Amino acid sequence: MLARPSDASTLPALLRRLTSKEEGMATAEYAIGTLAAAAFAGLLLALMRSGSLSGALQSIIEQALSV
């Protein structure tokens, strides 16, 4: 139900409702961000389990600790 413009108490509420932005987008953005983070974590996990990258990272860490 729309408020009457002459009613001063409901006019600000009506204006807020009519000029409000897309409220549902925040939830969708969080969901997409969460999926992207999970996919990136899966990619990193797969890369870490590969032998060549794991060996390279281990040698970098050993060099850093030996200094």
CA separation for the pair 51, 59 (Å, rounded): 12
Domain spans in the chain, listed from the N-terminal domain onward: 25-66
Distance, in Å, from the CA atom of 28 to the CA atom of 17, rounded to the nearest integer, reads 21
- Predicted TM-score (pTM) of this structure: 0.46
CB of 26 closer than 8 Å to CB of 16 = no
DSSP 9: T
Per-residue pLDDT tens over the stretch 16-26: 777 766 666 67
- For the stretch 11-65, pLDDT in tens is 777 777 777 666 666 788 889 999 999 999 999 888 888 877 878 888 999 999 9
Residue 11 makes CB contacts below 8 A (sequence gap 6+) with 3, 5
